[in-house]
């Protein structure tokens, strides 16, 4: 599943692999930095009610029904639809309802926290401290910004603790609290440095160009965004997980994956394929594309390799190669830049009126006052809530394109590749406790991937070759002999 992953998104949203993780910072950063810090929105719903007995159980009793590490069943019969055994069905539905409920709760909570900060003039006190400490604006930014966002982090801490507890209870995480706390501190430090620079740039532009600050800030964010996306896999990700070349771990698998890339007429070198050690902190499965240029790479979780056989991993690789070949990171950056342009312009039009009428009651001197930051974040948070469906729809579209590409590039290389793809998706759903009955709200508003049940049905029925149609992305025929023996013999699924 492709994503432009920042430490924040990868570490703290991993607790809910299907759901938007909307902490106060995630919402505000996401749109302040042209969605550079976009959180993953992959949520479940509250459509179908469980039986009265099931709904009355506690989180712990649901989670204890079946350990998640034992959830995967060997796929011995053909997959025709996404189904879960009764015990996992109950857990996934209950978890889905919790995720949607707490997405709504967190969105409201974040807005209320910012309103409380404005009411108590917390940012005004931090501004005064920064101005008394130094007259240099750059130094003031690095005093004011960490204090302000530390306050937000403290307010958000109960939600984060709850979600990690929930992940532990459901077997989605095995990370101990000490390790989790250390990761949280590293995330905050990285965010404070990056956001302090962004805030300093923003207010420097506000002071010099109060009428066109939104445009110049948008321009200034472009190189910052590109730098972050480039450095993410090189500098930030290794702070939280161990990475090693996939060839070092499983050279035979790399050779098979290279054959698939050659089928597409491209060359993805082994040094662009990495294995991420996710199993020391969680049980969920994933793969993603990150970086660009010299840092662009495909990353596969070691949990994915541990619970899928070689053909199934090959279909996952085909999906990720679709993101790689179709330049979805570039498209995501362009989409974020375009969306950020309109968000910042709209912010400029609305905030001028807000400051003219109400800023003085909050102790804010002008728009270029450090203390105006919570007003801007409040506005961006509200916009972020209502833009979520647009961002989710964009993400679902590129994920569907990657599904199509994966089916096409493995067709003829993997015997019955459509069924193997369906098996891989079924395993993914079981391990990640994907909701088997999502409602319309979750699918439309929150899902950044098509629902896994729809993906399985599509994989089983997408067959342009038998209908005399041209594949959308990968053309030409391929002989099965070179890969048939190596990819058709399944290894055990654990």
Longest dimension (CA), the chain: 75
As to burial, measured by CB atoms within 10 angstroms (0-12 exposed, 13-18 middle, 19+ buried), residue 114 is buried
Bigger pLDDT: 60 or 355?
355
Percentage of the chain exceeding pLDDT 70: 80
Q: Is residue 349 part of a domain?
A: yes
Q: Is residue 155 part of a domain?
A: yes
Percentage of the chain exceeding pLDDT 90: 59
| Phi, psi torsion values for 173, nearest 5 degrees | -135, 145
Q: Is residue 2 part of a domain?
A: no
- What is the reported pLDDT for 49? 31
Q: Mark out the alpha helices in 171-282 (DSSP H runs).
A: 177-208, 213-231, 246-249, 251-263
Nearest alpha-carbon partner for 180 in 195, 194, 162: 162
Q: Is residue 465 part of a domain?
A: yes
Coil, strand or helix at 275? strand
Neighbours of 26 (CB within 10 A): 25
- What is the reported pLDDT for 366? 83
| pLDDT one-digit tens code per residue, 89-111 | 999 999 999 999 999 999 999 99
Lowest mean pLDDT among 142-151, 247-256, 353-362: 353-362
Nearest alpha-carbon partner for 43 in 144, 169, 206, 163: 163
- Averaged pLDDT for residues 289-300: 88
Bigger pLDDT: 459 or 493?
459
Q: Is residue 385 part of a domain?
A: yes
Q: Is residue 172 part of a domain?
A: yes
pLDDT class of 289 with cuts at 50, 70, 90: confident
Contacts of 471-474 with C-beta under 8 Å, sequence gap 24+, read 471/408, 471/411, 472/404, 472/405, 472/408, 473/322, 473/325, 473/326, 473/401, 473/404, 473/405, 473/408, 473/409, 474/263, 474/264, 474/405, 474/408, 474/409, 474/411
SS (H, E, C) 412-469: CCECCHHHHHHHHHHHHHHHHCCCCCCCHHHHHHHCCCCCHHHHHHHHHHCCCCCCCC
Domain count, the chain: 1
- What is the reported pLDDT for 75? 53
Sequence-distant (≥ 6) Cβ neighbours of residue 24 within 8 angstroms: 109, 110, 113, 114, 152, 155, 156, 377, 381
Q: For residues 222 and 338, what is the distance between their CA atoms, to the nearest angstrom?
A: 11
| Residue 468 backbone class (left: φ over 0; alpha: ψ -120 to 50; beta: rest) | left
Strands 273-276 and 243-245, how do they pair? antiparallel
The two tokens of residue 481 are 């002999």
- Containing 46, the helix (H) or strand (E) segment is none
Work out the mean pLDDT of the chain and round it to a whole number: 81
Q: Is the pLDDT of residue 436 over 50?
A: yes
Q: For residues 100 and 170, what is the distance between their CA atoms, to the nearest angstrom?
A: 16
Nearest alpha-carbon partner for 380 in 186, 164, 195: 195
pLDDT class of 351 with cuts at 50, 70, 90: confident
Q: For residues 114 and 112, what is the distance between their CA atoms, to the nearest angstrom?
A: 5
The two tokens of residue 174 are 């095995």
What angle in degrees, to the nearest 10, is found between the helix axes of 310-325 and 251-263?
A: 50
As to burial, measured by CB atoms within 10 angstroms (0-12 exposed, 13-18 middle, 19+ buried), residue 389 is middle
Bigger pLDDT: 474 or 31?
474
Q: For residues 257 and 413, what is the distance between their CA atoms, to the nearest angstrom?
A: 11
- What is the reported pLDDT for 341? 94
- Averaged pLDDT for residues 148-175: 94
pLDDT class of 47 with cuts at 50, 70, 90: very low
Q: For residues 452 and 406, what is the distance between their CA atoms, to the nearest angstrom?
A: 15
- Containing 243, the helix (H) or strand (E) segment is strand 243-245
Neighbours of 51 (CB within 10 A): 8
Which residue range forms the structural domain that includes residue 180? Answer: 7-488
Contacts of 117-125 with C-beta under 8 Å, sequence gap 24+, read 117/151, 117/152, 117/374, 118/362, 118/374, 118/375, 118/378, 119/362, 121/362, 121/363, 121/371, 122/148, 122/151, 122/374, 123/148, 123/370, 123/371, 123/372, 123/373, 123/374, 124/362, 124/363, 124/364, 124/371
Tally of CA atoms within 13 A in the half-sphere of 469 that contains its CB: 8
| pLDDT one-digit tens code per residue, 48-71 | 333 333 333 333 333 333 344 434
- What is the reported pLDDT for 67? 40
- The pTM of the full predicted model, rounded to 2 decimals, is 0.81
Q: Is the pLDDT of residue 265 over 70?
A: yes
Bigger pLDDT: 436 or 264?
436
Q: Is residue 145 part of a domain?
A: yes
pLDDT class of 45 with cuts at 50, 70, 90: very low
The two tokens of residue 351 are 């905030």
Q: Is residue 311 part of a domain?
A: yes
Neighbours of 255 (CB within 10 A): 13
């Amino acid at each position: 599943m492709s994503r432009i992953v920042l430490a924040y998104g990868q570490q703290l949203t991993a607790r809910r692999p299907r759901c938007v993780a909307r902490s106060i910072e995630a919402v505000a950063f996401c749109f302040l930095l042209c969605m550079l810090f976009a959180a993953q929105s992959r949520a479940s719903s509250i459509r179908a009610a469980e039986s009265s007995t099931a709904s009355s159980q506690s989180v712990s009793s649901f989670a204890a029904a079946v350990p998640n590490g034992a959830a995967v069943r060997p796929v011995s019969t053909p997959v025709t639809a996404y189904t879960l055994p009764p015990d996992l069905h109950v857990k996934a539905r209950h978890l889905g309802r919790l995720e949607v409920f707490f997405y709504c709760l967190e969105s409201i909570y974040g807005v209320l926290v910012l309103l409380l900060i404005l009411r108590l003039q917390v940012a005004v006190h931090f501004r005064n401290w920064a101005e008394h400490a130094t007259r240099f604006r750059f130094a003031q930014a690095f005093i004011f910004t960490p204090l302000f966002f530390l306050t937000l982090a403290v307010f958000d801490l109960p939600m984060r603790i709850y979600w990690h507890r929930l992940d532990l209870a459901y077997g989605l995480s095995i990370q101990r609290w000490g390790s989790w706390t250390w990761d949280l501190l590293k995330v905050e430090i990285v965010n404070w440095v990056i956001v302090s620079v962004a805030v300093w740039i923003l207010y420097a532009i506000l002071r010099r160009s109060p009428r066109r600050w939104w445009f110049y800030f948008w321009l200034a964010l472009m190189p910052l965004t590109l730098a972050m996306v480039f450095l993410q896999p090189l500098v930030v990700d290794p702070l939280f997980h161990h990475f090693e070349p996939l060839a070092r771990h499983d050279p035979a698998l790399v050779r098979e994956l290279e054959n698939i890339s050659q089928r597409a007429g491209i060359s993805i070198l082994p040094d662009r394929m990495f294995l991420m050690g996710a199993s020391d902190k969680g049980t969920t499965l994933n793969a993603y594309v990150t970086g660009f240029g010299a840092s662009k790479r495909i990353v596969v979780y070691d949990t994915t390799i541990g619970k899928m056989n070689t053909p199934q991993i090959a279909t996952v690789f085909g999906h990720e190669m679709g993101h790689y070949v179709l330049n979805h990171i570039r498209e995501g950056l362009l989409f974020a830049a375009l969306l950020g342009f309109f968000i910042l312009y709209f912010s400029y039009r609305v905030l001028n009126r807000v400051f003219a009428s109400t800023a003085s009651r909050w102790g804010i001197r002008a728009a270029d006052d450090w203390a105006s930051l919570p007003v801007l974040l409040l506005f961006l948070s509200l916009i972020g809530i209502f833009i979520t469906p647009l961002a989710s729809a964009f993400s679902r579209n590129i994920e569907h394109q990657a599904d199509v590409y994966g089916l096409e590039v493995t067709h003829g290389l993997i015997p019955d590749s459509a069924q193997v793809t369906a098996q891989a998706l079924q395993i993914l759903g079981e391990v990640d406790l994907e909701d088997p009955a999502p409602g319309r709200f979750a699918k439309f508003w929150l899902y950044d991937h098509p629902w896994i049940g729809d993906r399985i049905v599509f994989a089983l029925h997408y067959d342009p070759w038998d209908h005399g149609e041209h594949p959308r992305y990968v053309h030409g025929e391929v002989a099965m002999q070179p890969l048939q023996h190596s990819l058709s013999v399944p290894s055990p699924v654990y």
